[in-house]
Structure 1
Amino acid sequence: MTIALLVEQLINGLQQGLMLFLMAAGVTLVFGIMRLINLAHGSMFMLAAYVAVAVFAATDSYLLAFIVALAGISVLAMLLELAIFRPLYARGHLDQLLASFGLVLVFNEIAVMVWGREPLYLSIPPLLSGQVEILPGVPYPVYRLAVSALAIAAGLGLWLILSRTRLGMQMRGGAERREVMEAMGVNIRAIATMVFGIGACLAGVAGLMTAPIMPVQSGMGDPILILTLVVMIIGGVGSLRGALIAALIVGVVDTFGRILLPQLIGLNAGSALSNMVIYVLMAVVLVIRPTGLVRSAT
């Protein structure tokens, strides 16, 4: 493997890790406040991409597609929290998981009914097309660099909300000492609704970033959700810091596994093992640290 290819794949891995962090951050926030694993989070990723494609096709405006997709997916998530998940908070985790899994199936079928089974594509904005040399002799797509920058900006925005705003203080307090916050008069249920919206917005950002570089189709959020759950388990369920660390590790390991293993042990066996390497990593981490890399603390 040449130095140029090594650098390119490292950046690809970090970019994938940043996208996974945006997904994991939303799931982690919801779990931290309500102790609920939302399997429908991957559907928010998919629907944001679909809505962006549809709005762009109708308006020819990337900005409008971006705004409508994020606003729409955030409102949808808050409505789902109010109508579907809120009545289930007092019930067992199995009921909550089944409800969220049912939503995955429903949204996948709705996507087929509305947009069909054929993959759709969103073109790369002309301003972000082309390549730039990140190192001498190492060209890299401008769009992928922009994706990484946007993911970092979204992560910093989340950090600012959590650490510098009253809402963020209430969210952190609700995750750590819910009963105390309720006794102080904080409406945890209203905060949970806002957290669902924020989490869906983060998933929407990931979906929008992915739409120009992969086909938009029904079920596209399901593999991303599986990787997101792996990230949460490795990082420590409920920990945003752990999710960030684990997402970057998973992104890099997955990227290099898919490049190196087929070269080292053959195409067929290497391709099969490359699909397993993340789960092997998860198993190793759980053997060494059963609670994940970072103790649960939003």
Structure 2
Amino acid sequence: MSAVLVIEQVLNGLQAGVMLFLMAAGLTLIFGVMGLINLAHGSLYMVGAFAAAAVSAATGSFLLGLVSALAAAALAGAVVEMLVIRRLYASDHLDQVLATFALILIFSEGTRWLYGSFPLYLDIPAWLSGPTRLPGGILYPTYRLALIAVGLVVALGLWVLIERTRLGIRIRAGENDREMIAALGVDISRLYTLIFALGAALAGLAGALVGAIQSVQVGMGEPVLILAFVVIVIGGIGSIRGAFVGALLVGLTDTLGGIFLPELFKFFTDPATAQSVGASLASMSIYILMSLVLIWRPTGLFGARA
């Protein structure tokens, strides 16, 4: 196994991790502040991807597609929060699960009605296509490097928003004692709508960015949603820092496991069996990681201790 392959896979893991962070950050904000289990978060990821693909195809501008993804996902999130989610805050988690699962079906069938069952494709812009030469002579896709950079910038911006702004103070206060900040005059309904729209916008941005390296299709958000739940369990519910660290761990574990585990099993069995067993264990590796973290720290790496 060459060093170039390992470095490329590490970069792939970082790229997958920062995109997972965009998805998980909104999810952990919504759950941490509102106490809401939102299974429809993956549908907002899909909304962003379809909006970007449609607008980019109509205008020829990738950047306009990204802006449209942010706007469409945020608007969909705000509407869903005001019409549906707002009625679920006092309900138990089973009601929240059932209602947001129904939203998945509504979003999926609505998207299929608008765009059909065939996938759409979002073209990488010319100024981001092709490889970039890295130190050591490694050629790596420019677009994937851009995804890493965008994810890191968004993570920094989100940290500044939560930790250094007045809105961030309200968000953190709402997580700790929503009744108290409501008594102090904060419009809690407006705050919740804003948080839900922010989380939806992050999911939509992730869908649009990933849509350029995968096909954009109905149901594309559900597999990512599962990984996002794994991320926030590992990192700790309600922790943005935990979501970031957890996302990087999941991205690197999933990517590197796919190359190292088959190689490891070649020492014990024939190459075909090693590839099969190693690939199976690689797909399980993130869940094994989650189990180990929960055994060591049941509230996650950065979650508050009970």
Correspondence 1:107-126 to 2 at 5 A: 107-126=107-126
Amino acid at match of 2:95: D
Aligned to 2:285: 277
Quick check: 1:235 aligned with 2:243? no
Q: What do the CA deviations read for 1:15-57 (whole angstroms, capped 9, x no partner)? A: 1111111111101111122101211111111111111111111
Aligned to 2:9: 9
Distance 1:171 1:241 in 2: 15
SS of the residue corresponding to residue 275 of structure 1 reads helix
Q: What do the CA deviations read for 1:106-151 (whole angstroms, capped 9, x no partner)? A: 2122222222222221111100011112222211111011111111
Distance 1:190 1:71 in 2: 18
SS of the residue corresponding to residue 168 of structure 1 reads helix
Correspondence 1:59-208 to 2 at 5 A: 59-208=59-208
Aligned to 2:276: 268
Aligned to 1:245: 245
Q: What do the CA deviations read for 1:177-196 (whole angstroms, capped 9, x no partner)? A: 22221121111121010001
Aligned to 2:294: 286
SS of the residue corresponding to residue 294 of structure 1 reads coil
List gaps (5 residues or longer) in structure 2.
266-273
Distance 2:191 2:32 in 1: 12
For residue 75 of structure 1, report the CA deviation from its aligned partner: 0.9
For residue 262 of structure 1, report the CA deviation from its aligned partner: 3.2
Distance 2:180 2:91 in 1: 22
Of stretches 258-267 and 271-280 in structure 1, the one that deviates more from structure 2 is: 258-267
Distance 1:293 1:135 in 2: 33
Q: Percent identity?
A: 50
Q: What do the CA deviations read for 1:49-88 (whole angstroms, capped 9, x no partner)? A: 1111111111111122121221111011011000001011
For residue 152 of structure 1, report the CA deviation from its aligned partner: 1.2
Contact 2:33 2:171 in 1 (8 A): yes
Contact 2:47 2:72 in 1 (8 A): no
Tell me the matched-pair count: 297
TM-score by length of 2: 0.93
Distance 1:290 1:3 in 2: 36
Quick check: 1:41 aligned with 2:41? yes
Contact 2:236 2:242 in 1 (8 A): yes
Contact 2:78 2:194 in 1 (8 A): yes
Distance 2:304 2:43 in 1: 25
Of stretches 165-174 and 79-88 in structure 1, the one that deviates more from structure 2 is: 165-174
TM-score by length of 1: 0.96
Distance 1:269 1:111 in 2: 38
SS of the residue corresponding to residue 140 of structure 1 reads strand
Amino acid at match of 2:90: A
Distance 2:58 2:218 in 1: 20
| RMSD over aligned Cα atoms | 1.4
Aligned to 1:295: 303
SS of the residue corresponding to residue 132 of structure 1 reads strand
Quick check: 1:254 aligned with 2:275? no
Contact 2:43 2:222 in 1 (8 A): yes
Amino acid at match of 2:299: T
Amino acid at match of 1:42: G
SS of the residue corresponding to residue 84 of structure 2 reads helix
List gaps (5 residues or longer) in structure 1.
none
